[in-house]
Structure 1
């Protein structure tokens, strides 16, 4: 039976995935904004215990701050269908990226900080995720975003009947106490963080693969296998994977250790992640492309972000990269008068993988006037995306516009909110068909003009 076209006020666009609890769709809210809508299985929604826990736990999920998470926007029952609506995050999940190659360098460190930051926000709301795993971490243009915490068991409900959460948890990433069926606390999520970071950095779960009983046995009884994990994060991962929950650091302590100072606010940690993160471009399905030798990749300058280089064990350095600062000292930045105010436009990165490329740029209103940006960058009168922003390779007559997938632009949408002086937006778009010999392009930003000679970086 096909899924209904609408669930309450939400219009279903396409199926994104399916799990033990239900089905996730890309949907549009009444204002036309993309959201991720998860409908729960009908047999669960019909159980009184589920309905009670669902209401309580989804209300707790609404309290989770949006730092490095996909925030919950709505939860409830529409026409008898239990659903959870979150912000839609554009980007591949961690498992699909690591399947091609493990993360390394600043992106591995940014992942570690970003996921720890999300856990700190989740735990501060009294929620335990309980199912932190690679498929629940999406790699957005601004960094990792943790999803699917909306049906987690409340941390402040010891002894509560875990009807909803009992089926949750993935053996390779669950904590020993969760594997034994014991009550879990935020320390369980920290253990999962350690397993996830180890997987991201090596391409292997630290307790191996195989049947559920053997993996669970290793989680409970064996030491993790961390061979090949970057030594800058390995000591902290080892602490997080302690069998005794009391010996593990908290999510906040993970952040503080990684960033090198005590009590780093989650907002500052989120900003550090976004400035460090290099957007990931996943090419269309096909055989993996050979990776370029590290020596041939361009080195980007690193700068401080208000926190000192961190020391982790022997010394961890979280180098914060500002991709617009090129080794030749040039900045891809311009100031333009448009739409009744003054904008500063900065190209953050243009990263290619094969013939696909992802452009990321920042627009800041440095004037004093409100200048709403929606409906100004789309290719149609009602298009609120940045589909008009194009790349112009040298010697090519036609501009290259963002790719379209399922009728939707693979690009950022613009909010309908005011855009006042001092406001800033980070935007992105994915392009396909970039000539392989194009190492520099011009970028047409529609009403904000043309930025010439932008360097194309290799992923």
Structure 2
């Protein structure tokens, strides 16, 4: 299936022809807050360009969050992300361009081909531990690590979508009572103390992501995001089917207390022993070919908002009450695009 081109009526006819100097060739995907387009640089390099919907361009808070997303993505090394090539958060239609990275997300790969075998799950864990070390050492907390935000590229996993990430020196804060993320991959403190979320929340999310990658389901599952949130805060994770070599590590990642979770550096030390002295080279799935099928909109830090772990990505609103009352007060508002859901908050452009 070829990319969807701009010509036509309705929403597509409103797409701009250019973002800065980049001609937008085709749509890769659309979300509630923006559209991701395929484009090429002057040298012919393929790019994924996220363009914000016109109505959100008029919102000062959204612009501030989009500006923060661009800044966070630029801080992180391109070795573990889709590097930012250019951006204009101050334009009439804010936009950001990153390199286009072929390859499915973990969510897509598991849905299409089933769980990863144990050796590939260990390799994935090692790559993501390195990625989190890289993200955290520049003072950024991702806060939305999940299967649809990790690309399985040929040279190792790439973490994408910094839409709700937060640099440690940011003065921008979430509105009172607002809490955003994907419940099966959120840490307990994200439900209880959203203003105090630190790097350990990403480690918890890594544990949940590895369960999904190795078993095809999450450690906390329900059709209701409220129940999932309660399970994350109170219940023990379901780790049936997790590879034995990763079980102790994942158990530590999923500790309820952030202080009990390992750092990325500690994870790398453990995984080095698990993999042995000569680990295999990264081996990603066969890259997707844009000319043969629609390129995936996950090549940007604003990837697909897929269903993951049995619960859709959800915009949840909650206070900072103790956990039992917190669940009662939560309000879930899934935003859907076709058959997919996205998580949305202010400056986050989930799903594109």
TM-score normalised per structure 1: 0.56
My pick for the range that moved more, 238-247 or 72-81, is 72-81
Quick one: which of 185, 193, 217 aligns to 1:173? Answer: 185
Match of 2:235 in 1: 222
Unaligned runs of 5+ in 1: 262-268, 284-401, 409-459
Match of 1:405 in 2: 292
Q: Residue 206 of structure 2 aligns to a residue in which SS? A: helix
Cα distance per residue 1:81-104 (max 9 Å; x no partner): 112222211011111111131001
Equivalent-residue separation in structure 1 for 2:110 and 2:143 (angstroms): 22
Match of 2:100 in 1: 88
CA shift, 1:78, in A, is 6.7
Unaligned runs of 5+ in 2: 1-10, 296-352
Residue 137 (structure 1) aligned with residue 142 (structure 2): no
Match of 1:103 in 2: 116
Higher relative contact order (CA 8 A, sep 6+): 2
CA shift, 1:201, in A, is 0.5
Question: Does the CA-based 8 Å contact 2:179-2:194 persist in structure 1?
Answer: no
Quick one: which of 103, 106, 113 aligns to 2:126? Answer: 113
Equivalent-residue separation in structure 1 for 2:188 and 2:25 (angstroms): 39
Q: Residue 405 of structure 1 aligns to a residue in which SS? A: coil
Q: Residue 267 of structure 2 aligns to a residue in which SS? A: helix
CA shift, 1:48, in A, is 1.9
Q: Which runs of 4+ in 1 moved over 6 A?
A: none
Residue 149 (structure 1) aligned with residue 162 (structure 2): yes
Equivalent-residue separation in structure 1 for 2:163 and 2:87 (angstroms): 9
CA shift, 1:176, in A, is 1.0
Equivalent-residue separation in structure 2 for 1:171 and 1:55 (angstroms): 25
Structure 1 vs Structure 2 CA RMSD? 2.9
CA shift, 1:143, in A, is 1.9
Equivalent-residue separation in structure 2 for 1:129 and 1:70 (angstroms): 14
Q: Residue 89 of structure 2 aligns to a residue in which SS? A: strand
CA shift, 1:64, in A, is 0.8
CA shift, 1:151, in A, is 4.9
CA shift, 1:258, in A, is 0.7
CA shift, 1:57, in A, is 4.3
Residue 212 (structure 1) aligned with residue 217 (structure 2): no
Quick one: which of 284, 288, 312 aligns to 1:279? Answer: 284
Residue 42 (structure 1) aligned with residue 54 (structure 2): yes
Q: Which has the higher strand share?
A: 1
Q: Which has the higher helix share?
A: 2
Quick one: which of 194, 204, 215 aligns to 1:191? Answer: 204
Look at both structures and tell me which one has the larger radius of gyration over its CA atoms: 1
Change (3 A) 1:256 1:46: farther
Change (3 A) 1:232 1:68: same
Question: Does the CA-based 8 Å contact 1:66-1:121 persist in structure 2?
Answer: no
